[in-house]
Structure 1
Amino acid sequence: MSIFDKYAAFLERYQMAEMMPKNPLGMRFDEILTPTRARVDGREIILAGTNNYLGLTFDEDAKAAAAEAIAHHGTGTTGSRMANGSYAEHQDLEAEIADWLGMKSCIVFTTGYQTNLAAIGTLAGRDDLILIDADSHASIYDACRMSDAKMVRFKHNRPDDLDQKLERLLPETKGSALVVVEGLYSMFGDIAPLGEFAAVCEKHGAYFFVDEAHSVGVYGEEGRGVADMQGVLDKVDFFSGTFSKSLASVGGFCTSRHAEFDRIRSIMRPYTFTASASPATIASTRVTLAKLREGEGLRQNLWARAEQLHAGLSEMGFTLCAEPSPIVAVRRSSDLETVMGWQQLMQAGVYVNLAVPPATPKGACLLRLSLSAAHTEDDIDAILGAFAQLAEQGAVAVAAE
């Protein structure tokens, strides 16, 4: 018996993917040319699946700051901040993020995934209760598994279901309740009714944790996310985000309006036992954070392109999963149809994300696009032209769940 036998179904799917003209499960880019262009097999393609929402990955100021940081501090920190200490720049970035969001404390992590793992996994203990949206990101589910708390799911974007579960479960809970939702959900591109969730948390005395990984830079004044847009940022106890999307880097952060949050960093195992972010990463992130805060023009162009794409796909009859947002998910009827559609888009020079079970909520099969402020009107027209070829094959509409 092989240790790989339990993955037989996945390995069979991967072997099939390897036989296709392009392997969607092992995509290789020969060169990234710009925030919206790459070279594959000597051919230039449009990138429409990178989460590069503000298009800052090639920002000249950010690149210069990263190069200067390497010159002054070297390429890596070679250890965790608990073992090797913090560079001044790590602490400066934490202070800048806390100021931006009006929070009392902030902890910067090496990855966005690690952020949720450390924060949620440490905040909730043995006698506590974690309630999470059923469509939560894998990092949230894994954080719940890492904690000793009882984890309960509530129906996606349903404050009433959360209310009922808190009403039933709180009397038998010895500790605290932590409610975890996202601002913008990464697969379907739908946003959460954070105001209603905040009201339910306040009613029951539950702590409110919002993951704004995909909504930072996109929503709200100075890009402070959905909570700010909906006027409830001051009701959020813990706010997590990532550097790898709008901030065009790698890393993550969690802020809190509770000063005690900063003091528990030393007992967060993913923080304590992971090497800290490189000097170049921190330096470029500080530059892009400043640009994000001032980037109203970038946000306006991003939204114009999102609405252009959403309207064009809707007119062709494609079934879309949510209202316009920088994430546009096109529902397909099966794994095979989704993979073949992805192949055809690649042949037409457009890269999107292939999203199929088990990585998607409710077993959905999706062609997922994420737009950038760097996309032009002509870029969107080209993307729509590629989808028009799919539409010509018929069966563009799929019943939404």
Structure 2
Amino acid sequence: MSEGIMQSDRPETLEGDSKDLFSKFDETIELRRNLLSSGVQDPFSLVMEKVLSPTRAICNGRDTILLGTYNYMGMTFDPDVLEAGKQALDDFGSGTTGSRVLNGTFQGHKECEEALREFYDMEHAMVFSTGYLANLGIISTIAGKGDYIILDIDSHASIWDGCAMGNAEVVPFKHNDVEAMEKRLKRIPEGAGKLVILEGVYSMLGDVAPLKEMVRIAKENGAMVLVDEAHSMGFIGENGRGVCEEAGVIDDCDFIIGTFSKSVGTVGGFCVSNHPKFDIMRLVCRPYVFTASLPPSVVATAATSIRKLMDASEKRAHLWENSKRLHSGLTEMGFKLGTDKPESAIIAVIMPDLEKGAAMWSALLEEGLYVNLARPPATPANMTLLRCSLCAEHSGEEVETILQMFENAGKAVGII
């Protein structure tokens, strides 16, 4: 075909008629512009120039306490973890340059999966390149067209994206509402495939799911159960296996999904299961098959960290102490929190609106404290939150300093 014919076949587009594909973001662009024009620092562009420890970093040239990193067990600077990563770099190089089903499975990947099987006392474990990919891959593969997914309305974006990718019928229910979940389950057509998806700890408010009741009802109604334990692994439960363990239902959960980017202290995701057919997922799960595997240094640090978390009861106890103290201290000052009592390592401080929230975030940073500013649509009920995630390496003195910083910033902004 000649060039002239190709050109003549193209539809004519008049100048100004083409749609700007970025128009859909205009409201967000304007919101960000107005926020920055008020004089606050950009909450979503913070740069850590140097990380000093699990609890401190240099931000904007200042020594800053970190209270928004999800580094719950403080494993990012553990000497054994760092040494394992350095050794893997020397022995295996910087990356795999391939998928797990091709050239991307190194000895470290198998050792990491073995550590997960031991940690959870389960038969099968799959490691993904991120926690997001773990949810995307497992959910979209096991629940497809004609199947039904019953899930909490406040589920993480990666869960919703996994549902969309798999084309299953999605039936949401009100957050942590056991009765609403049961009603949805009973409406599912008889004989249909059913998957109930829950989270142990919900990351915005830091509240815990009533898994004991929910898992029981799911099983009574013939559903499989998937629980995302990203924000409870390593910390909650006698052995750190999460809310499933704490609630005594871990053996009734068909799939447990988690991430290495929280308590484990690196990057990656995983799924563990006792299902006898689970291993076929390695051949049919697209986000596993078509993604390059994690670098050798990452799986080495993850495996070492997971094994150390098996014997971390003292760190878990200290983290609970930190959570209880921060929650009580902020409550006494008059801040409105996401939960009536400490339920996890996440303490959510509810702000009156986005403008006040951004001002409070900026004031805290000026005090030398970093927290997460969370806003709609990521947050439930259109709330603006300052999300604090405590670390087992925060000292008691640091927690008291954090409370003083909140008091100073809260009074300066006019929130308390």
Normalised by the length of structure 1, the TM-score is: 0.96
Where does 1:120-139 land on structure 2 (aligned, <5 Å)?
120-139=139-158
**SS state of the match for residue 192, structure 1?**
coil
**SS state of the match for residue 84, structure 1?**
coil
Aligned residues of 2:35 and 2:355 also touching (Cα < 8 A): no
Instruction: Return the alpha-carbon distance in structure 2 between the equivalents of residues 116 and 41 of structure 1.
Output: 35
**Aligned-pair CA distance for 1:85:** 4.4
Aligned residues: 395
**SS state of the match for residue 307, structure 2?**
helix
Aligned residues of 1:122 and 1:267 also touching (Cα < 8 A): yes
Q: Which moved more, 1:225-234 or 1:76-85?
A: 76-85
Residue 53 of structure 2 corresponds to: 34
Residue 67 of structure 2 corresponds to: 48
**SS state of the match for residue 45, structure 2?**
coil
User: Is 1:330 paired with 2:349?
Assistant: yes
**Aligned-pair CA distance for 1:16:** 3.5
**Aligned-pair CA distance for 1:160:** 1.0
**Aligned counterpart for 2:360 among listed residues 331, 335, 341:** 341
**Aligned-pair CA distance for 1:41:** 2.5
Instruction: Return the alpha-carbon distance in structure 1 between the equivalents of residues 379 and 104 of structure 2.
Output: 39
Aligned residues of 1:240 and 1:253 also touching (Cα < 8 A): yes
User: Is 1:263 paired with 2:280?
Assistant: yes
Aligned residues of 1:38 and 1:47 also touching (Cα < 8 A): yes
**Aligned-pair CA distance for 1:198:** 1.0
User: Is 1:13 paired with 2:22?
Assistant: no
Residue 219 of structure 1 corresponds to: 236
**SS state of the match for residue 88, structure 2?**
helix
Over 3 Å counting, the alpha-carbon distance change for 1:38 and 1:135 in structure 2 is same
Instruction: Return the alpha-carbon distance in structure 2 between the equivalents of residues 279 and 102 of structure 1.
Output: 24
Aligned residues of 1:310 and 1:328 also touching (Cα < 8 A): yes
Aligned residues of 1:14 and 1:25 also touching (Cα < 8 A): no
> Could you list the runs of 5+ residues in structure 1 that have no partner in the other structure?
none
**Aligned counterpart for 1:103 among listed residues 99, 111, 122:** 122
Aligned residues of 1:17 and 1:25 also touching (Cα < 8 A): no
**Aligned-pair CA distance for 1:28:** 1.1
Where does 1:1-400 land on structure 2 (aligned, <5 Å)?
1-19=19-37, 20-171=39-190, 174-322=191-339, 323-324=341-342, 325-392=344-411, 396=415
Aligned residues of 1:76 and 1:278 also touching (Cα < 8 A): yes
**What do the CA deviations read for 1:19-48 (whole angstroms, capped 9, x no partner)?**
444210211111111111111222101100
**SS state of the match for residue 24, structure 1?**
coil
Instruction: Return the alpha-carbon distance in structure 1 between the equivalents of residues 325 and 387 of structure 2.
Output: 16
Q: Percent identity?
A: 42
**SS state of the match for residue 8, structure 1?**
helix
Which residue identity is paired with 2:82? K
Instruction: Return the alpha-carbon distance in structure 2 between the equivalents of residues 100 and 347 of structure 1.
Output: 41
**SS state of the match for residue 45, structure 1?**
strand
Instruction: Return the alpha-carbon distance in structure 1 between the equivalents of residues 409 and 264 of structure 2.
Output: 33
**What do the CA deviations read for 1:182-230 (whole angstroms, capped 9, x no partner)?**
0011010000011101111111010010000000011012211010011
Instruction: Return the alpha-carbon distance in structure 2 between the equivalents of residues 297 and 247 of structure 1.
Output: 16
Over 3 Å counting, the alpha-carbon distance change for 1:249 and 1:394 in structure 2 is closer
Instruction: Return the alpha-carbon distance in structure 2 between the equivalents of residues 16 and 291 of structure 1.
Output: 46
**SS state of the match for residue 71, structure 2?**
coil
Bigger-Rg structure (1/2): 2
Instruction: Return the alpha-carbon distance in structure 2 between the equivalents of residues 221 and 41 of structure 1.
Output: 39
**Aligned-pair CA distance for 1:393:** 5.1
**SS state of the match for residue 77, structure 2?**
coil
**SS state of the match for residue 31, structure 1?**
strand
**What do the CA deviations read for 1:336-363 (whole angstroms, capped 9, x no partner)?**
1101110111111100000111111111
Instruction: Return the alpha-carbon distance in structure 2 between the equivalents of residues 17 and 393 of structure 1.
Output: 18
**What do the CA deviations read for 1:305-346 (whole angstroms, capped 9, x no partner)?**
111100000101111111212100001111111011101111
Aligned residues of 1:195 and 1:232 also touching (Cα < 8 A): yes
> Could you list the runs of 5+ residues in structure 2 that have no partner in the other structure?
1-18
Instruction: Return the alpha-carbon distance in structure 1 between the equivalents of residues 111 and 148 of structure 2.
Output: 34
Which residue identity is paired with 1:5? S
Instruction: Return the alpha-carbon distance in structure 1 between the equivalents of residues 281 and 51 of structure 2.
Output: 39
Aligned residues of 1:89 and 1:282 also touching (Cα < 8 A): yes
**Aligned-pair CA distance for 1:166:** 0.9
Instruction: Return the alpha-carbon distance in structure 1 between the equivalents of residues 206 and 280 of structure 2.
Output: 34
Aligned residues of 1:189 and 1:328 also touching (Cα < 8 A): yes
Normalised by the length of structure 2, the TM-score is: 0.92
Instruction: Return the alpha-carbon distance in structure 1 between the equivalents of residues 228 and 414 of structure 2.
Output: 35
RMSD: 1.4
